Amino acid sequence: MSRIAVLVPGKIHERVLTRLRESFDVIQTDPVALDAQAAGRIRGVAVSGTFNAAAIDSLPNVELIASFGVGYDGVNAKHAATKGVIVTNTPDVLNDEVADTAIGLLLNTIRELPRAENWLRAGNWKPGQNYPLSRFSLKGRHVGIYGLGRIGQEIARRLEPFKVKISYHTRTRHADAPYGYYPSLKDLAEAVDTLISIVPKTPQTHRTINAEILSALGPDGVFINVGRGWTVDEDALAAALKSGTIGAAGLDVFYDEPDVPASLLDLPNAVLLPHLASGSVPTRNAMADLVVDNLIGWFQNGKPLTPVPETPVKA
């Protein structure tokens, strides 16, 4: 496989590059910078981020595009499918890490743990001077999960020992899910006091967390997002937090990363993280391995490990 050329168009996890170089001829550049001969050599792509239709069209002999991440909205998978090009992603290997982060973010938001630590570090803990009681508790809450896919199910399983009520909304009801189902997001928001969003970036999920949904969640409501910033109307969220329409929010993702609106940064009832849900060394290494193993699997035996649903070839 040393003669097979794989394009890496931009930054990617170093482990991907290290492993690719063991088996492939790695070319690191933007596809538009390739001349016709070089473009014709490319049979695989390893990408973290965007790879659009024009980039696909510029590589006449590309067979597989391996995307780093479970979300692959940056890769035009539908266009790739029309050209017989396989697209893969890295599902499952990050489910546990993201679910763990969701629970940690939920606890931090409800119990104000980051604020309490900052209060202590600032030297405020003195005899007779204690941090104020947190307004909220996880005890007795009704948690709604918006998106009960692989990660959503892991979040739900982690919530069970906390003895909270769990419900969910997805486009299609899961017949085997032991949780309450609501046919619309608004119905779910009206029923629960805690809403966790873990839906992908699709046209159907664009800014679905809006003023109407936040108002339905209510003044004791807590909103957590470990899915996509695309899902949230951030102006409406900032206004809801500031006015007390909802009680608090914990966010790991934002609409225009890495830009975080000042209207959210200035709020004391928002816990904000820099999109780190899957950001541990073991998990990112596993994601990197899956990117490379998809390429090896295809070129070695014609079997990609984790093709996306739009792809013309199944695992």
Is 3 known to be catalytic?
no
Residue at 222 is within a domain = yes
Q: What is the pTM of this model?
A: 0.93
Q: One of 14, 117, 160, 257 is an active-site residue; which one?
A: 257
Q: What is the pLDDT, as a whole number, of residue 3?
A: 85
Residue 188 domain-assigned (yes or no):
yes
Total structural domains in the chain? 2
Q: Which of 228, 234, 284, 310 is catalytic?
A: 228
Catalytic residue of the set 111, 142, 206, 275: 275
Q: Are residues 103 and 212 in the same domain?
A: yes
Per the domain annotation, does 245 fall within a domain?
yes
Same domain for 255 and 134, yes or no, is: yes
CATH number for the domain including 130? 3.40.50.720
Full domain range(s) for residue 242: 95-272
Residues 102 and 85 in one domain: no
State pLDDT tens for residues 175-190.
999 999 999 999 999 9
Q: Give residue 314's pLDDT.
A: 60
Helix residue spans in 83-165 (DSSP H): 95-111, 113-121, 150-159
- Please indicate, yes or no, whether residues 268 and 289 belong to a single structural domain of this protein: no
Mean pLDDT per block of 10 residues along the chain (315 residues) reads 86 98 96 95 97 97 97 95 97 97 98 98 97 98 97 98 98 95 98 98 96 98 98 98 98 97 97 97 98 97 95 71
Residues 161 and 21 in one domain: no
In a domain, 309, yes or no: no
Establish if 80 belongs to a structural domain: yes
Assess whether 257 carries a catalytic annotation.
yes
Q: Are residues 293 and 235 in the same domain?
A: no
Same domain (yes/no): 172, 248: yes
> For the residues of 190-226, what is the DSSP string, one character each?
HH-SEEEE-----GGGTT-B-HHHHHHH-TT-EEEE-
Q: Is residue 72 part of a domain?
A: yes
63 given a catalytic annotation: no
Distance CA 92, CA 88 (A): 13
